[in-house]
Structure 1
Amino acid sequence: MNKFLFLLFSGLVLTSCNSDVDAGEFVVGSDYLEVTNKVISIDTMTVDVSNVKLDSLVTSSQSRILVGNYDDPFFGKVRSESYFQCSTSIFNLYSENSDTEATGYVFDSIAMILKYDDYYYADTTKLQTLSIHRVLKKLKANSDDGNFYNSSSFKYDANSLGMISFYPKPIGRDSINIKLNAVFGAEIFNKFKNNEITTYDEFTNYFKGFMLKSTSTESNSIIGYGLSSVLRLYYSKGKGDSETSYFKDFTISDISKQFNNILSDKTGTFLEDLPLSKKSFSSIFTGNKGFVQAGTGLVCRIDFPNVKQLKYLTENGAIVDAKLFIKPVKNSYSKLFPLPEKLNVYVVDNLNRTQSQLSDASGNILTANLNASNDEFDENIGYEINISGFLQKEMKKNSDFKYGLILTLPISAKNVDRVVLGDQLVKENKIELKIYYITY
């Protein structure tokens, strides 16, 4: 024990207090202070970083069609494909009066109109090719919870109904118009013209849905499209020497049947050997880096194995402030891969099961917020989070059962944002913990 205290105190700064004391950047309140009290600044405590691949994420009911692919030097080949149903609430063709004149309607064309929702990731200057396919099996959700996941997929026709190559312009009101197979369109048209389909169930049993994917072989981008996207059927009716054009829209009305299958091939990266389970994988085996990525279920875990030793500093003491500074690895972010504005922080058990979201004594949710102030060497760029309450509870525990913290992206099921973080052993951009401990 004496040896431990000597080693620990060799990295501590002690300050005697009889009023409010500024110990570095932290001000200790007068309620804690007496003449014999001391504030100890500690910045040498061990912080363990590890990586965890969570179970599948729910991606249904997220109101975003997420499609595309890109190559990431840290996360590998990332790809997202989307499944969705289109239907209508009106099961006849347009007529000013009734469908008694339906024999005069003529099929023209059919198209899938994808409307941008302003989300994009990676390089939108590269040409992207999309292909849309017919789903062959009914979209049935997980029987336990009624959801679809980032790992969910269904059999679809390998023959494309339509393809388009384009340069994405995801910001604004532009849209992508994919002209679909005329035989497919005429088939739907005739079903309605002949009143063969008259209900939602009849239509979805006949046409089970779409699968939209990128066929690009080169790295480009992943783009978000809104659920205001429509399948549009164009047809016309002749009246004497004139012709009147019409269209009928099939909308994505059931958002619970729209989901994204988000894939990641980590071959050749630090994450290649990451276990496909909830087991923690130490940053020692991932280049001294922690990884967080939305969409794929990749999160970073942080542990404080020696926090209980602080209570041996003195008979009575408390952690009155503790700041964790988490820094992104240099050259891991850029305009193509921007840093997220904040990270969510969760308290988890040894099996990485979430116990709660990190909060302060008043119950306010705490997040790790990005400090993006510019400096010559990017030394100030990073995330800061107050974990004093969490560490105080861990220090005071009587059992050996320890909780850790997990970092995630705030919106983890409808995008592919990511960040690479340094641990305590990385050469630059190390994670830092600064604790203020008061003895009384």
Structure 2
Amino acid sequence: MAPDYHCAVMQLQTIFLGIAAVCFFPACDKAGFSYENAAGGGNVQYTLIDTLSINMRTVQPDSVASSGTGMALAGGYRDAYFGNITTGSYFRVALPDSREIDDKAVFDSIELVMRPTGYSYGDTLPPQTFRLHQLTQPLELPEEYTVLFTHMRWPYNNTPLGVQQFDIRPTSGERLHLRLADSKGIELFNMLKDDVTDVSTDDLFHEYFKGLYLTGSNNTAVFGFEAKDSSLYLRLHYHVVTHEKEEKYLDFLLSKPGLQYNTVQADRSGTPLAALKPGTGLYTAETNNMAYLQSLTGALVRMDFPSLPSLQELGRYGRIMRAELVLRPVTGTYAREALPPQLNLGLADNFHYIAPGDSLAAGTGTVQHGALSVDKLYPENTVYTYDVTEYCKAMINADSYTYRGLVLCPPPGAYGAQLNRLVLGDGRNSKYRAQLKIYYLLYQ
């Protein structure tokens, strides 16, 4: 079941306005005292507090949108932390613009042409096998949907149109050519040659040729392919013999790029996330003081700070001058898979909903991405760092309606298109401890 998108947006806009209102609440002021101009003295304390508790957990959103990203994913791999992951891509192709074929033309072959984006995840050295299937139901946007999701499945013919093994160098830019069965090529060739009704318009062609599904077979990596009409298409080869052999082709280009979407399956059996389901999520006490993030398979990290209101108990006249959140990846979990270069913090309600574009900003108003700092000599010093000053100022006075936790997730462009993953230590992790550092000014 798809969520009611318009109602969700209205709800989240209301949530955002509530948080914005909290951000403007002034701190308590004592007559004649200015925090900004406070001088050192016996009645002024400026303290670093870094022992506030952080409730961290891995949560799973109800659904992950993956359509119209411009990248088709195909393949799979085994991950010790996230399980067996398989991906595939659904898409449509259109009739060639010019499709007249000479009566003397002879069919040669048909193939799927695809160009790697350079993105891959897993072990890319072994040969990789891909399959292409024809859909048995037209690929269309369901009624009341605006996007397609990773959990959606479209029925397809179990007998593949083509299966082929490749040695892939994902960053080389070299196109892959997956040869399809001649029977399908001859069928299309004869229909075009005879100008039958099913190939007279794109709409009629879509009713006949309902779409395609590209996936892998026993792969060790996932690969990204450009989902554009110039780099993902069927090419039908034929020739005409007059005085000499003249080779020709027709291209069935990718159409409706907004309908191209990626399907993702994650079998988490035997992993720390085996019990993860939508809802409350898994607290780090259940996962060995570690939290897990891989947005495309539905694993995000949520953080709550229940001790923030207790700062007010230090004294009536206190103020947060600066607050910093430090997150540490667990060494050994990113030896082969690189750390996500950018991660956002979103304001989330109790259902983990985040308003579109509602990412935590720095004091300058720019969205923060974590300022990842990698220390190869001392991995415990590898950190993501965020300025959470304004967030903490707002949440210290929040009530049950205005309180929002923080959800760590990739920026929009990577959220529904990449498998980059992360394992973080929580606030009780002995070596890779997450910390909320608050610089607090207290006037006695």
State the TM-score bracket (shorter-chain normalisation): 0.7 to 0.9
Q: Give the direction of change, closer, same or farther, for the CA distance of 1:229–1:399 in structure 2 (3 Å limit).
A: closer
Equivalent runs, 1:334-349 vs 2, <5 Å: 334=335, 336-349=336-349
Q: Aligned Cα RMSD in Å?
A: 1.8
- 1:45 lines up with 2:52 in the alignment: yes
Distance 1:128 1:32 in 2: 65
The 3-state SS of whatever aligns with 2:206 is helix
What's the counterpart of residue 283 of structure 1?
Answer: 284
What's the counterpart of residue 157 of structure 2?
Answer: 157
What's the counterpart of residue 421 of structure 1?
Answer: 424
CA offsets 1:69-96 (integer angstroms, 9 cap, x no match) = 01001001111111111113525235xx
Q: Alignment length, in residue pairs? A: 400
What's the counterpart of residue 58 of structure 1?
Answer: 65
How far the C-alpha of 1:58 sits from its partner, in A, is 1.3
Equivalent runs, 1:30-429 vs 2, <5 Å: 30-33=36-39, 35=41, 36-90=43-97, 92-93=99-100, 102-196=102-196, 197-216=199-218, 220-227=220-227, 228-240=231-243, 242-275=244-277, 277-334=278-335, 336-355=336-355, 356-375=358-377, 377-397=378-398, 402-410=403-411, 411-429=414-432
The 3-state SS of whatever aligns with 1:104 is coil
How far the C-alpha of 1:60 sits from its partner, in A, is 0.9
Letter in 1 for 2:200: T
Distance 1:374 1:209 in 2: 47
Letter in 1 for 2:186: A
Letter in 2 for 1:429: Y
Letter in 1 for 2:270: G
How far the C-alpha of 1:301 sits from its partner, in A, is 0.2
Q: Percent identity?
A: 28
Distance 2:397 2:362 in 1: 17
CA offsets 1:208-256 (integer angstroms, 9 cap, x no match) = 111111111xx5110011122221000111114x221100111112102
CA offsets 1:158-204 (integer angstroms, 9 cap, x no match) = 11111111221100221111110001000001111011121111111
- With normalisation by structure 2, the TM-score equals 0.86
What's the counterpart of residue 439 of structure 2?
Answer: 436
Q: Give the direction of change, closer, same or farther, for the CA distance of 1:137–1:398 in structure 2 (3 Å limit).
A: closer
Deviates more, 1:158-167 or 1:393-402: 393-402
Letter in 2 for 1:230: Y
Distance 1:153 1:291 in 2: 26
Q: Give the direction of change, closer, same or farther, for the CA distance of 1:419–1:399 in structure 2 (3 Å limit).
A: closer
Distance 1:301 1:64 in 2: 27
Letter in 1 for 2:170: P
Distance 2:180 2:427 in 1: 54
The 3-state SS of whatever aligns with 1:125 is coil
What's the counterpart of residue 22 of structure 1?
Answer: none
What's the counterpart of residue 13 of structure 1?
Answer: none
CA offsets 1:370-413 (integer angstroms, 9 cap, x no match) = 111332x3121111111111111111235575321000022111
How far the C-alpha of 1:30 sits from its partner, in A, is 4.9
The 3-state SS of whatever aligns with 2:393 is helix
Contact 1:93 1:248 survives alignment (8 Å): no
CA offsets 1:109-131 (integer angstroms, 9 cap, x no match) = 10111111111111100221111
- With normalisation by structure 1, the TM-score equals 0.87
Q: Give the direction of change, closer, same or farther, for the CA distance of 1:155–1:329 in structure 2 (3 Å limit).
A: same
Q: Give the direction of change, closer, same or farther, for the CA distance of 1:32–1:74 in structure 2 (3 Å limit).
A: farther
Distance 1:161 1:238 in 2: 28
Distance 2:108 2:251 in 1: 14
Q: Give the direction of change, closer, same or farther, for the CA distance of 1:245–1:416 in structure 2 (3 Å limit).
A: same
Q: Give the direction of change, closer, same or farther, for the CA distance of 1:399–1:225 in structure 2 (3 Å limit).
A: closer
Distance 1:321 1:374 in 2: 28
Contact 1:342 1:370 survives alignment (8 Å): yes
Distance 2:342 2:214 in 1: 31
Q: Larger strand proportion, structure 1 or 2?
A: 1
Contact 1:92 1:198 survives alignment (8 Å): no
CA offsets 1:315-349 (integer angstroms, 9 cap, x no match) = 11111111111011121111x31111121110111
How far the C-alpha of 1:367 sits from its partner, in A, is 2.5
